[in-house]
Amino acid sequence: MHTVLVTGCAGFIGSHLCERLLADGFRVLGLDNFDPFYPRALKEQNLSAVRKHPQFNFQELDLRSGVRALDAAWPHETPDLVVHLAAKAGVGPSVHEPLAYLDNNVLGTGHLLEWMRQRPVSRLLFASSSSVYGNTRRLPFQETEPLQLACISPYATTKLAGEELTFTYHHLYRLNVLNARFFTVYGPRQRPDLAIHKFVRLLQAGQTIPVFGDGTTARDYTYVADIIDGIVRGVKYLLVNEQVYETVNLGNNKPVPLLQLIEAVAEAVGVPARLRFEPMQAGDVDITFADISKAQRLLGYAPRTPLSEGLQAFVKWLKVSEQTPALK
């Protein structure tokens, strides 16, 4: 039985990943610091399905605490592989708190990599982001795109810095790495600050939806189950290959303009949308569009969830979660 350490395990993607890994027969070590970016109760609920699983071991820990804290958390456990999802998230908030993002996402990643070097743990799947492409004009985004001077938000910069760090540890210490660039993940447990979650709540409350820009900005919305399948395929790829350093896009390969997304969300909720146009937000890019051919070739990655189906699943989950007193 292989053991996988999942950092950020209580988050949106992390909690889904832990459930899938346990279902697939892995032992899972989970780490999270319950960052107050959104309520702890939501993250505790995310973990409710795995907390009592016999092959799940959770430690509350902030990666900024350093190598010794990681050693103390699991003094007798050495995972076969790490999936590093932990990060301070959000493009917009990073514009207002750049130092907090550098501290969490760069320093925290550095501590994790150094712990892996010393333990040693030789395999890493690093969660990067489509934001590293910035306003790259060549579409769809390819992993070979040169990204010097591409990042236009502190969050994007920290994710590209994370990729640079993983390469350094690959080059110097033979760390096997798969950098996975996620493209606008949505679905049940999505963070409350993200667009789809906000839109559904506004529609349910009969309020107007803010449209930043003219509504033509587009995102490559990717359902969480498809992302999780890509991550698990990446885990299995790393476990059977050596001397690996690869970067792949995990997206849906189908950008959706903002106005079209709002229309689809409104249809899923069953309420017509009323719009309020606002200026573009600092740090936002015009479009994200994943070329997923490399992920298809290396991992057999193939997203399958249509937007309408994914939105219906999210709305259904939100209705149930709103009936949970602790989560209201």
- Where does the pLDDT of residue 264 fall: very low under 50, low under 70, confident under 90, or very high at 90 and above? very high
Q: Which residues of 271-306 are buried (b: 16+ CB within 10 A; e: fewer)?
A: eebeeeeeeeeebbbebbbbbbebbbebbebebebe
The residues annotated as belonging to the active site are: 155
CA-only gyration radius of the chain, Å? 19
Asked whether 294 and 248 are in contact (CB, 8 A), the reply is yes
Of the pLDDT bands very low, low, confident and very high (cuts 50, 70, 90), residue 252 is very high
Is the predicted pLDDT of residue 43 greater than 90, yes or no? yes
Residue 192's SS3 state is: coil
Average pLDDT, the chain: 96
> What's the mean pLDDT in 127-150?
95
The residues that bridge with 126 in the sheet, in sequence order, are: 84, 179
Q: In this predicted structure, what is the pLDDT of residue 283?
A: 87
Query: What CA–CA distances, in Å, run from 178 to 125, 181, 238, 288, 297?
Result: 5, 10, 7, 21, 14
Model pLDDT, residue 187: 98
pLDDT score at 327 = 52
Whether the predicted model's global pTM rises above the 0.85 cut: yes
Query: In the chain, what are the domains?
Result: 3-185+222-251+289-303 (3.40.50.720)
